[in-house]
Amino acid sequence: MVLIEGVTLMNDYTPRPEDKFSFGIWTVGWQGVDVFGPATRAPMPAERAVRKLAELGAYGVNFHDNDVFAFEATPAEREERVGAFRKALDETGLVVTTATTNLFSHPIFKDGAFTSNDRDVRRFALRKVMDNIDLAASLGAQIYVAWGGREGAESGAAKDVKAALDRYKEAFDVLGSYVLDQGYDLRFAIEPKPNEPRGDILLPTIGHALAFIAELEHPELVGLNPEVGHEEMAGLNYAHGLAQALWHGKLFHIDLNGQHGPRYDQDLRFGAGNTRGAFWVVDLIDSSDYDGPVHFDFKPPRTEDDKGVWASAAANMRNWLILREKVRAFRADPDVIEALAQARVPELAQPTLAPGEDWRSVRDFTPDIDALAARGAAFEHLDQLALEHLYGTR
Amino acid sequence: MVLIEGVTLMNDYTPRPEDKFSFGIWTVGWQGVDVFGPATRAPMPAERAVRKLAELGAYGVNFHDNDVFAFEATPAEREERVGAFRKALDETGLVVTTATTNLFSHPIFKDGAFTSNDRDVRRFALRKVMDNIDLAASLGAQIYVAWGGREGAESGAAKDVKAALDRYKEAFDVLGSYVLDQGYDLRFAIEPKPNEPRGDILLPTIGHALAFIAELEHPELVGLNPEVGHEEMAGLNYAHGLAQALWHGKLFHIDLNGQHGPRYDQDLRFGAGNTRGAFWVVDLIDSSDYDGPVHFDFKPPRTEDDKGVWASAAANMRNWLILREKVRAFRADPDVIEALAQARVPELAQPTLAPGEDWRSVRDFTPDIDALAARGAAFEHLDQLALEHLYGTR
Amino acid sequence: MVLIEGVTLMNDYTPRPEDKFSFGIWTVGWQGVDVFGPATRAPMPAERAVRKLAELGAYGVNFHDNDVFAFEATPAEREERVGAFRKALDETGLVVTTATTNLFSHPIFKDGAFTSNDRDVRRFALRKVMDNIDLAASLGAQIYVAWGGREGAESGAAKDVKAALDRYKEAFDVLGSYVLDQGYDLRFAIEPKPNEPRGDILLPTIGHALAFIAELEHPELVGLNPEVGHEEMAGLNYAHGLAQALWHGKLFHIDLNGQHGPRYDQDLRFGAGNTRGAFWVVDLIDSSDYDGPVHFDFKPPRTEDDKGVWASAAANMRNWLILREKVRAFRADPDVIEALAQARVPELAQPTLAPGEDWRSVRDFTPDIDALAARGAAFEHLDQLALEHLYGTR
Amino acid sequence: MVLIEGVTLMNDYTPRPEDKFSFGIWTVGWQGVDVFGPATRAPMPAERAVRKLAELGAYGVNFHDNDVFAFEATPAEREERVGAFRKALDETGLVVTTATTNLFSHPIFKDGAFTSNDRDVRRFALRKVMDNIDLAASLGAQIYVAWGGREGAESGAAKDVKAALDRYKEAFDVLGSYVLDQGYDLRFAIEPKPNEPRGDILLPTIGHALAFIAELEHPELVGLNPEVGHEEMAGLNYAHGLAQALWHGKLFHIDLNGQHGPRYDQDLRFGAGNTRGAFWVVDLIDSSDYDGPVHFDFKPPRTEDDKGVWASAAANMRNWLILREKVRAFRADPDVIEALAQARVPELAQPTLAPGEDWRSVRDFTPDIDALAARGAAFEHLDQLALEHLYGTR
């Protein structure tokens, strides 16, 4: 590591509250059930997840209603489970940054929730969300994530997509009015995903969700919760997607993990998967005005026991901190600054038209074509500098 | 084919003007140059493409400026080439439905056009578009396609995506004011693509482009031109994407071809590639209010000679007509109507809340959970009916 | 459908025993458990699957040991369950064409079976296979499928791949000697898969498994069981893979289903997914010397109830029969025969060197380069004929 | 970097002859022609590539015949061009490690070479290879690469795959006898690729090519030249593929570059793309008995000028050296050795059966199932150690 003036190098990678690291209760609690096999780990009560995450240095948690209590819980059971959860939160000081509803596990949601063909399911889904919004608000959550995992189809005639988008909009409009009427300080964050568990899922990417939001009654209440793996399952550049979400002012939350391109949803720990992609994600977020939770939505592989779960969980935060140190060194490196200038990266921030110009100013613009054609973009040198910061050899 | 009352079965698949079939001049004119080899076919002047397409029954064409005249053409050469093109149009009656600018071939566009890091390239790109808008307007084109093929990056630091989106917006704002100031009856259609020829392209999917449009000064002037292969390269469902574009009122144009999922951009003729996907595309468009050109953007494979080029071109239209016959039979089939009802597809068109209801109406909604859980969605039977219509065995 | 002399068109698509249709017990028995939700359907005893499949017209079944009895079954329970299974087979006449071992569900197999890092797991896996081989042999199975679903890794250091291949070979060598020593008329069929449920699976494609087999002690005992979806998850052409397996004399079994390219393992019914791919699969198999079961390894989507399960199951066979009729008509169509000749397809069967020639005969071979370069391959016309047979418009 | 006893840390990353770095002449010579645009860089004579690569520290080169002289070159032109190439080699001391034939650019190869449907093309292809084998042998090449880039098809009927494999085998049998008869010390290395520029390419992966080789008359003469990007285009793990090739004794050559999963063939410089994958590739090769060239087959992006070409080229070698240092530190790290033991990685090298055991020894093997089920595999901790070596934070 070249020491660069003005950059404070961290001596360790210990998570601190100001890092705002958070985890889904369901992440460390995943028992390893998949299509091909049952659980390899014991169930984990939400309060245990809270306590262990606190020990590891996390700042907050996100939860589905049914991470805390079972779908079938009686009111008494629900109360008991919520109480244990709340107690653990209180004792550890962990913040509920975010909450969400499980609208994808129970068989009634097999064709979706907000866009199920079955109207009763849609009506019940709204009620289930309202129930958990109340709990979320009481726990202080400010972001309410909406992942529509079963909103989709395996076959063409089964879903009228335009009608489904009408219903999807209706759901957010109803829930928006609920939150406003209740006076909750809560905004929604849609989490796009292209497929799995449905053949094709509605609002499959960051872009589709951004466009959708613009049609809502209260677009200001709804933003995005993009997940690394979900975008990379479509072969899309996650950092580019985040940048567009930021550009629209809609990056409300992030879900960090790892993935190896188009295949099943791997939910590897952050840092595993596309390592260079992770570098650019941290670079983007660290230099942006995003100040929400740095949230991890991963699954400790089914091979791991409880010890492995926590090793995996801790590594998410550690990798963020390591990468944050690297991206700061990268941006402060004089060679990088010079290489960016050579690659004309800052020139892109300069408007194409000068103040006062309009189309007339360029109507007959004729540059020196041969000179522009011959000019190299100098991107390879710049990218190699970045890679060497990732390697830690600069 | 089961004969169904009220459906007029076509006796043949001859293209008619009202089918509005159109082709890019560059499609049949593709010489077969790829990364691994030079041309296998002779250059084709635009006027030859026009005459042959007219013979095959096409209604219209789309063209890039440099499909008609070379980038380096002198004014006299340009005039001569445009004249020959115009003459062929006049003589054949083919309509210029659409036009577009080549902002991706010349070396000056190697880092993009509207979002090139080089400001002079951006300024020149605007001018090049305005030049061809004038020609397009004079030829009667009403849609102006914008495919930003080189707007992107291979590496993370090379492109400041937020700045790039600022410049991308600036370009459409400038061009929008140009079109308005000139009084042209012309709207823009953005054609998204996830990658190739750049590592990652900006506005990679239908969704990203839809979201972007909402931020423009004149969003009403800009819509989408989604291409089958481009969405399928990201593993996305093209018909779903079209449906969302229609839902936003933004389907201005369509680019039809064939692709086999995430891999290089194949540009197979329409019908080749994802056959079942094509069925649902025709079903959606045929039942929608889209009335623009049915446009083919394919490449006759490099293996074909001139005869093969026209065989391939004609098959695009034929496949559309065959599929259109099938989707109409599908929608008219009483068994299908019954299966749709069983699958509760029409129920999705029913609002989740009845007139006058609000969130209070469902705040405590408790359906018969067990009954809903047990209820099958009956999608497989429905999908099999569709497949048998595709097979022609119903 | 153009009636072609010499082709007997079927009047219906009723499965017959000579079609050799078979199903995995686990296919119709899949309860819908996935990573994101529990069962949506009740457990199905193997005997019920047998009886219903017989009603639908199936010829045979394939089974994992734990499709019939639970991993934890006592000997008495196992006996009872096997008895019920056997009784159903006897009463229906269904054949056990194939059997296999569940080496992927139980937590002990979380890091694989034959290639688990844990030697005790490897030893137990051998024993579990031998147990079920005995049962398979007693039920008359002639093919024993080996899908190594958990043989793989999520991360680089976790698996020494060369050592793993040594152990994989050791397992097949041991099991080969077991089968030979027992005098069983049983051959193994390896089922490759690139990933899911492991990040990367060993022997990921048809090719890797074919190469592996050549290194075994008894290569004659081991062949392939390629599955549509598994190859298409890697973007590979399944029919091409089958053709190579046939070329090596190693196509022992086929697993038919549907998939939409690189994404999670969809296991759609055969015909859904890549429709054109399915056409070429049936074409290849129908014209080959493959005479094993036409086996379906699909999953009725989680949305379906019991009725939907059987609709989905039946459609697999129906789609095969429809496509078989089509490929026969395609091959008998005089226009196709002419188009194949124009495309020089039969010329590829002609050796490059004539009898008696060697390299000296072509050492200075100089064809008319310009003529060869100009010659079109005429593939588009041929492919369009195939597509129209698929559509049923010829 | 933790200093570990016994590991010599390099002070710099200067390529040395013993590193055996080699480049294709066509890599740095790529002018940037792609499907969407013409050259952005001037042609580079082979001798210039040689001299510049020598300056950068390369050890050797690989070349296609038509990298040195044009397809249409007269004998005199060929002589002149080969002379200039040879002179540059002599003066720089660069070794011709490898050679290959361009059987994919000229229009006559549009349907392939060894498997073209056209017999004259097949015969000419053999002659073209023999011509260049003579040159290769005279230049001292010991490996002759065969990439069958156009051996494939876009559509199903166009290629009889079994016949094509017969012809493919015939070609290698003929060429094998040629090499043996000439007494050349030359072995062939097949380079698999799944698609692009053909829709599907024959021998699409490492596995398919390995299996194919086993059927040749002289399998000992033929091995593999796997390329990073080609395997990753199919979503396959390149290091796993290399390991299997090594296991078969068939890793004759390697083609290193970078790729972002299933999409067009990117040919990024080595290190760009899948960074973690590259770490495991170097780890595998560095600890194996592979002693062939460390060959780079990349394309400097079309954005770069001549200066960028060399920056990109040099970075390939630099990244190998950086990663080699890291993998050696990883393997020497006591914490890693401990973690490998905990993950039971060395236990996989232990045969499943002890010496003298056979299937009888495990016929009734009954381990402690509950203990095995509960045992964690401890892979996450191990993988995190590897990642931190990649980051350079250990």
**HEC per residue, chain C:** CCCCCCCCCCCCCCCCHHHCEEEEHHHHCCCCCECCECCCCCCCCHHHHHHHHHHHCCCEEEEEHHHHCCCCCCHHHHHHHHHHHHHHHHHHCCEEEEEECCCCCCHHHCCCCCCCCCHHHHHHHHHHHHHHHHHHHHCCCCEEEEECCCCEECCCCCCCHHHHHHHHHHHHHHHHHHHHHHCCCCEEEEECCCCCCCCEECCCCHHHHHHHHCCCCCHHHEEECCEHHHHHHCCCCHHHHHHHHHHCCCECCEEECECCCCCCCCCECECECCHHHHHHHHHHHHCCCCCCCEEECCCCCCCCCHHHHHHHHHHHHHHHHHHHHHHHHHHHCHHHHHHHHHCCCHHHHCCCCCCCCCHHHHCCCCCCHHHHHHCCCCHHHHHHHHHHHHHCCC
Q: Do the strands D254-256 and C60-64 form a parallel or antiparallel pair, or are they unpaired? A: unpaired
Query: Mean pLDDT across the stretch C205-224?
Result: 98
Nearest to D348 among C117, C215, C280 (CB): C117
Give the whole-angstrom CA distance, residue C189 versus residue C98: 10
Residue A313 has pLDDT above 90, yes or no: yes
Nearest to D379 among C115, C155, C170 (CB): C155
Of B65, B67, B255, B283, the catalytic one is: B67
Tens digits of per-residue pLDDT, D287-328? 999 999 999 999 999 999 999 999 999 999 999 999 999 999
Query: Mean pLDDT across the stretch B175-202?
Result: 98
Residue A273 has pLDDT above 60, yes or no: yes
Is the CB of residue C186 less than 8 Å from the CB of residue C220? no
In the structure, what pLDDT confidence band is assigned to residue A12 with cuts at 50, 70 and 90?
A: confident
Nearest to B380 by CA among C383, C128, A153: A153
Tens digits of per-residue pLDDT, A162-183? 999 999 999 999 999 999 999 9
Residue A6 has pLDDT above 60, yes or no: no
Tens digits of per-residue pLDDT, D142-195? 999 999 999 999 999 999 999 999 999 999 999 999 999 999 999 999 999 999
Question: What pLDDT, on a 0 to 100 scale, did the predictor assign at position D1?
Answer: 36
Tens digits of per-residue pLDDT, B116-164? 999 999 999 999 999 999 999 999 999 999 999 999 999 999 999 999 9
In the structure, what pLDDT confidence band is assigned to residue C11 with cuts at 50, 70 and 90?
A: low
Nearest residue of chain D to residue C331 (CA atoms): D157
Residue B373 has pLDDT above 90, yes or no: yes
Give the whole-angstrom CA distance, residue C317 versus residue C314: 6
Query: Mean pLDDT across the stretch D357-370?
Result: 98
Q: How many CA atoms lie within 13 A of A287 on its CB side?
A: 21
Q: Residues with Cβ < 8 Å from D13, sequence gap 6 or more? A: A393, D317, D318, D321, D322, D325
H, E, C per residue of B250-267: CECCEEECECCCCCCCCC
Residue D7 has pLDDT above 90, yes or no: no
Nearest residue of chain B to residue D200 (CA atoms): B260
Give the whole-angstrom CA distance, residue B340 versus residue C81: 39
Looking at every residue in chain C, the average pLDDT score rounds to 96
Long-range Cβ contacts of C44-51 (<8 Å, 24+ apart): C45/C81, C45/C84, C46/C81, C46/C84, C46/C85, C46/C88, C47/C84, C47/C85, C47/C87, C47/C88, C48/C88, C49/C23, C49/C25, C50/C25, C50/C85, C50/C88, C50/C89, C50/C92, C50/C94, C51/C88, C51/C91, C51/C92
Neighbours of chain D (3+ CB pairs under 8 A): A, B, C
Residue C154 has pLDDT above 90, yes or no: yes
Neighbours of chain C (3+ CB pairs under 8 A): A, B, D
Nearest to C308 by CA among B98, B382, A353: B382
Taking the Cβ of residue B173 and every Cβ of chain A, the question of whether any pair is shorter than 8 Å is answered with no
- Which amino acid would we find at residue B13? Y
DSSP state of A9: -
Tens digits of per-residue pLDDT, D226-245? 999 999 999 999 999 999 99
Dihedral pair phi/psi, residue B23, rounded to 5°: -135, 150
Alpha carbon C390 to its chain centroid, in Å, reads 22
CB-based contact C207 D202, cutoff 8 Å = no
Residue D10 has pLDDT above 80, yes or no: no
Helix (H) or strand (E) holding A325: helix A306-332
In the structure, what pLDDT confidence band is assigned to residue D71 with cuts at 50, 70 and 90?
A: very high
Top-confidence residue, D205 or A10: D205
Question: What pLDDT, on a 0 to 100 scale, did the predictor assign at position D2?
Answer: 37
Nearest to A210 among B211, B364, B385 (CB): B211
Two structure tokens written together for A6: 């003005």
Give the whole-angstrom CA distance, residue C96 versus residue C243: 26
Of B12, B19, B34, B64, the catalytic one is: B64
Mutate to test the interface with B, among C384, C385, C390, C394 (most CBs of B within 10 A): C384
Residue D213 has pLDDT above 60, yes or no: yes
The four Cα atoms B376, B379, B381, B386 give a dihedral, to 10 degrees, of 170
Q: How many CA atoms lie within 13 A of A365 on its CB side?
A: 22
Query: Mean pLDDT across the stretch B73-81?
Result: 98
Give the whole-angstrom CA distance, residue C204 versus residue C194: 4
Query: Among this protein's residues, is A67 annotated catalytic?
Result: yes
CB-based contact A244 B165, cutoff 8 Å = yes
Helix (H) or strand (E) holding D146: strand D143-147
Taking the Cβ of residue B348 and every Cβ of chain A, the question of whether any pair is shorter than 8 Å is answered with yes
Q: What does each C-alpha distance from C168 to B273, C160, C174, C322 come to in angstroms? A: 37, 12, 10, 40
Residue B2 has pLDDT above 80, yes or no: no
In the structure, what pLDDT confidence band is assigned to residue D4 with cuts at 50, 70 and 90?
A: very low
In the structure, what pLDDT confidence band is assigned to residue D12 with cuts at 50, 70 and 90?
A: confident
Query: Mean pLDDT across the stretch A84-109?
Result: 98
Q: Nearest-CA distance from C107 to chain A in Å?
A: 5
H, E, C per residue of A287-316: CCCCCCCEEECCCCCCCCCHHHHHHHHHHH
Taking the Cβ of residue C141 and every Cβ of chain D, the question of whether any pair is shorter than 8 Å is answered with no
Q: What does each C-alpha distance from D120 to B184, C101, C184, C360, C378 come to in angstroms? A: 56, 51, 50, 15, 17
Residue B28 has pLDDT above 60, yes or no: yes
In the structure, what pLDDT confidence band is assigned to residue B252 with cuts at 50, 70 and 90?
A: very high
- Which amino acid would we find at residue A272? A
In the structure, what pLDDT confidence band is assigned to residue D79 with cuts at 50, 70 and 90?
A: very high
In total, chain C counts a number of residues equal to 394
Two structure tokens written together for A104: 């994808």
Residue B20 CB coordination number (10 Å): 17
CB interface of C with D, residues 249-308, below 8 Å: 262, 276, 279-280, 283
Taking the Cβ of residue B332 and every Cβ of chain A, the question of whether any pair is shorter than 8 Å is answered with no
pLDDT above 90 covers what percent of chain B? 97
In the structure, what pLDDT confidence band is assigned to residue C253 with cuts at 50, 70 and 90?
A: very high
Give the whole-angstrom CA distance, residue B136 versus residue B134: 5
CA-only gyration radius of chain C, Å = 23
Residue D118 has pLDDT above 90, yes or no: yes
Q: With 0.90 as the threshold, say if the pTM is over it.
A: yes
Nearest to B154 among D34, D197, D301 (CB): D301
Is the CB of residue C144 less than 8 Å from the CB of residue C100? yes
Nearest to D157 among C127, C374, C386 (CB): C386
Supply the angle between the helices B379-391 and B275-286 in degrees, to the nearest 10: 100
Tens digits of per-residue pLDDT, A281-307? 999 999 999 999 999 999 999 999 999
CB-based contact C260 A199, cutoff 8 Å = yes
Is the CB of residue A237 less than 8 Å from the CB of residue A283? no
CA-only gyration radius of chain A, Å = 23
Give the whole-angstrom CA distance, residue A55 versus residue A60: 12
**Residue A345, SS3 per DSSP:** coil
Question: What pLDDT, on a 0 to 100 scale, did the predictor assign at position C42?
Answer: 98
Q: How many CA atoms lie within 13 A of D70 on its CB side?
A: 8
Neighbours of chain A (3+ CB pairs under 8 A): B, C, D
Question: What pLDDT, on a 0 to 100 scale, did the predictor assign at position B232?
Answer: 98
Please report, for chain D, how many H helices and E strands are present, in that order.
15, 10
Helix (H) or strand (E) holding A146: strand A143-147
Two structure tokens written together for A111: 């064709």
Residue A12 CB coordination number (10 Å): 6
Q: Residues with Cβ < 8 Å from A209, sequence gap 6 or more? A: A190, A192, A203, A224, B207
Give the whole-angstrom CA distance, residue A232 versus residue A240: 11
Taking the Cβ of residue D170 and every Cβ of chain A, the question of whether any pair is shorter than 8 Å is answered with no
Tens digits of per-residue pLDDT, A124-150? 999 999 999 999 999 999 999 999 999
Query: Mean pLDDT across the stretch A180-187?
Result: 98
Looking at every residue in chain B, the average pLDDT score rounds to 96
Question: What pLDDT, on a 0 to 100 scale, did the predictor assign at position B276?
Answer: 97
In the structure, what pLDDT confidence band is assigned to residue C12 with cuts at 50, 70 and 90?
A: confident
pLDDT above 90 covers what percent of chain A? 97
CB-based contact D305 A374, cutoff 8 Å = yes
The four Cα atoms A185, A191, A197, A199 give a dihedral, to 10 degrees, of 130
Query: Mean pLDDT across the stretch C353-358?
Result: 98
Mutate to test the interface with D, among A389, A390, A391 (most CBs of D within 10 A): A391
